[in-house]
Amino acid sequence: MCGITAKISIEEHGVRRDLLRSLKRLEYRGYDSVGFATNNGVFSKSTSPMSEFISEVDEDVKSFVSISHTRWATHGGVTHVNAHPHFDSTKTVFVVHNGIIENYDEIREELERKGYDFVTETDSEVIPFFFYDEMIKNKKSFGEAAKEFIKRARGTFAIILTIKNDDKLYALKRDSPLALGILDDGFMLASDIFAFSDETNKAIFFEDDTYAEIKKNAYSFYDSNGDVQSTEITVFDWGVEEEDVQDYPHFMIKEIHEQPKTSKRLINSLETEQKKELSKIKDLIGEAKRVVFVASGTSYHASLIGVHLLNRRGVESHAVIASEFESFYLVDDKTLIIAVSQSGETMDVVTVIKKAKEEGAKIVSVVNVPYSTIQRHSDVSLEIRAGQEVCVASTKTFTNQLITLFFIAKLFSYKEDLSLIPDKIKKTLEDNEDKVKVYAKKLYKKKDVFVLGKGATYPIAREIALKLKEIPYVHAEGMMAGELKHGTIALVEKDTPIICLIPKNNPSMLSSAKEVEARGAEVIVISNDKSNKEVDFLVPESDDAQFSIYSTMIGHLLSYYIGVLRGVSIDKPRNLAKSVTVH
């Protein structure tokens, strides 16, 4: 949610070639507007698509120090004036910010009383005025100003400042992610390591309530008292996938097709280098009284499968949506939290694990992005090794989350063979993709779609419905088949499309399909049962749990091809961001 990058270098760097190229890699964090500023006073911002904006930046715009931002709007509409960088009225202090300054109105009023004129509707605009007042008007050092800001500001922030004719970069952070990449020719600051992972594998991760001053050839970090902080350089391993869209029209379909490879890579790593982590997780689950999965969005759907698998093996488990955790769940020191998050940055999940730790709970995480905040706050973390996922909607990472949860279940007598999954994924694609295109043509004008599942396929019904909403913008509801009769069936009319997930030996799902068919619904069956004559999409044989992978793939493909026919923005759906770093 909002991406920020900044570069400081020994030689002048090109804003378009260096800075904005790395910003482009963070576009999935938000795409409402884009902008940059340099320490020699050049700045530009726009609500146009990022590629268009970048192509219009002159190759000759160069600087030693530059900052940039891609926005996911929270406070203030998607307008040119609300786009970052924000600056004071004299255009001396330029700022990019990810997060929310909760008490911005109070800080703003105070600054307005001092005579500063605000022009935007954003919370972020208080930052340049605050630092202008402290550093330029009152001639305080950045350190003094930063300490004061950390004391005064409530909320979350990763902030980078550049000051006209000043040759340093300044940064401060609380809760929103921020990393310093160590390059051959200088340094880069960014919301996540993907911004610079093609240039370096060395980074320093900011702690909360710290600030830093970055020179061309040195950096210093400080805590909120102004004491120098010792820092550790992490050498990371990331960015294993081909990073461009290659021959595919969209990242979504490229990422769906990467699954045979990415699932295989994960299985290998869980059987070898991550085996130690798995055995630690076994011990932690053994010591805990209950397991509570915490997640949001697609990761929550994966968590529900985790609950299904563990409860069936006698391990008391629950899954709670992170944003509602506080209202609906109690944690104690006998609780084991399993945080499932692709980005490892979802703020609602971060908040839960921080509070749970205070209560003495242990934290396990299942993340895709290494060194993410959630991983760094975990006692044990498993990586799903799916590589960078560029499309906002999760596909290959969902599959790898499920595989990881199967491996956890294996610690508790889940006996199915997992080594066949990559081939079965391949077969699912080979056998069904053309058929999906035909069905997409039948469905793309429909207004509502229902998806029904039971047991392990209930979360999949929700996952498919979520994808139908977020990609082609089709209203869809994914639900427990058993609940249908308690209300929703009233919406079933002639030709209402209802996708039924019917794994082998599931008479109850078969009856649900018949019940809606009897009311005129257009039933679409996804099954792994060859003997079912009414199957529309046949996926490889498996148990119910693994059926969840193959049936989801049909739903993901369907959402993709309906989206293509509807001509929507597949990889960057409206209003969404891949990494939700605000509450």
Residue 367 CB, shortest distance to ligand G6P, in Å, is 8
What does the radius of gyration of the chain's CA atoms come to, in whole angstroms? 25
CA 418 to CA 413: how far, in whole Å? 13
**Residue 393 in the binding site for ligand G6P (CB under 6 A):** yes
The DSSP bridge pattern shows strands 475-480 and 448-453 to be parallel
Choose, by CB under 6 A, the member of 364, 554, 576, 582 that binds ligand G6P: 576
**Residue 30 in the binding site for ligand G6P (CB under 6 A):** no
Binding mask 153-182 for ligand G6P (x = CB under 6 A): ------------------------------
Query: Catalytic: which of 2, 254, 467, 572?
Result: 2
Choose, by CB under 6 A, the member of 331, 580, 581, 582 that binds ligand G6P: 580
Q: What residues have CB less than 8 Å from 467, skipping those under 6 apart?
A: 393, 555, 556, 559
Q: Where are the beta strands (DSSP E) in 3-152?
A: 3-14, 33-38, 43-46, 62-71, 86-87, 93-101
CA 111 to CA 41: how far, in whole Å? 23
66 or 579: CB nearest ligand G6P: 579
Choose, by CB under 6 A, the member of 349, 474, 524, 545 that binds ligand G6P: 349
Question: Of the listed pieces 211-219, 256-264, 335-343, 492-500, which binds ligand G6P according to CB under 6 A?
Answer: 335-343
Residue 550 CB, shortest distance to ligand G6P, in Å, is 20
Residue of 302, 294, 301 lying closest to 321 (CA atoms): 294
Look up 500 and say whether it is catalytic.
Answer: no
Residue 119 CB, shortest distance to ligand G6P, in Å, is 31
Q: Which residue has the tokens 């040119």?
A: 80
CA 574 to CA 373: how far, in whole Å? 26
Choose, by CB under 6 A, the member of 68, 346, 432, 551 that binds ligand G6P: 346
CA 75 to CA 85: how far, in whole Å? 14
524 or 580: CB nearest ligand G6P: 580
**Residue 63 in the binding site for ligand G6P (CB under 6 A):** no
296 or 548: CB nearest ligand G6P: 296
Choose, by CB under 6 A, the member of 270, 291, 392, 461 that binds ligand G6P: 392
297 or 455: CB nearest ligand G6P: 297
The DSSP bridge pattern shows strands 335-341 and 362-367 to be parallel
Residue 241 CB, shortest distance to ligand G6P, in Å, is 17
Choose, by CB under 6 A, the member of 341, 428, 527, 546 that binds ligand G6P: 341
Residue 199 CB, shortest distance to ligand G6P, in Å, is 24
CB atoms within 10 A of CB 218: 9
- The residues pairing with 97 across neighbouring beta strands, listed in sequence order, are 159
Residue at shortest CB range from ligand G6P? 297
Q: What residues have CB less than 8 Å from 532, skipping those under 6 apart?
A: 502, 510, 525
29 or 86: CB nearest ligand G6P: 29
Binding mask 286-305 for ligand G6P (x = CB under 6 A): ----------xxxx------
CB atoms within 10 A of CB 182: 18
24 or 301: CB nearest ligand G6P: 301
Pair 117, 91: CB distance under 8 Å: no
Residue 389's SS3 state is coil
CA 53 to CA 80: how far, in whole Å? 12
**Residue 582 in the binding site for ligand G6P (CB under 6 A):** no
Residue 496 CB, shortest distance to ligand G6P, in Å, is 27
Query: Catalytic: which of 168, 173, 454, 578?
Result: 578
Residue 448: both structure tokens together:
């509502």
Residue 296 CB, shortest distance to ligand G6P, in Å, is 4
Q: How far is CA 557 from CA 207, 257, 437, 566, in A?
A: 40, 10, 8, 14
Which secondary-structure segment (H or E) carries 335? Answer: strand 335-341
* 459, 504, 400, 366 alpha-carbon torsion, rounded to 10°: 50
**Residue 578 in the binding site for ligand G6P (CB under 6 A):** yes
Choose, by CB under 6 A, the member of 343, 375, 388, 399 that binds ligand G6P: 343
32 or 125: CB nearest ligand G6P: 32
Look up 2 and say whether it is catalytic.
Answer: yes
Question: Of the listed pieces 116-124, 232-240, 338-346, 560-568, which binds ligand G6P according to CB under 6 A?
Answer: 338-346
Residue 342 CB, shortest distance to ligand G6P, in Å, is 3
Q: What residues have CB less than 8 Å from 56, skipping those under 6 apart?
A: none
Binding mask 394-433 for ligand G6P (x = CB under 6 A): x---------------------------------------
- Residues in the chain, overall count: 583
50 or 252: CB nearest ligand G6P: 252
Residue 380 CB, shortest distance to ligand G6P, in Å, is 18
CA 238 to CA 198: how far, in whole Å? 9
539 or 582: CB nearest ligand G6P: 582
352 or 501: CB nearest ligand G6P: 352
Q: What is the 3-state secondary structure of 127-139?
A: HHHHHHHHHHHCC
Residue 321 CB, shortest distance to ligand G6P, in Å, is 10
CA 80 to CA 73: how far, in whole Å? 12
Phi, psi (degrees; rounded to nearest 5) at 252: -60, -45
CA 488 to CA 564: how far, in whole Å? 29
Residue 569 CB, shortest distance to ligand G6P, in Å, is 13
Q: Where are the beta strands (DSSP E) in 435-557?
A: 448-453, 475-480, 497-502, 522-527, 537-538
270 or 391: CB nearest ligand G6P: 391
CA 32 to CA 40: how far, in whole Å? 26
List contacts with ligand G6P (CB under 6 A): 296-299, 341-343, 346, 349, 392-394, 576, 578, 580
Cite the active site residues: 2, 578
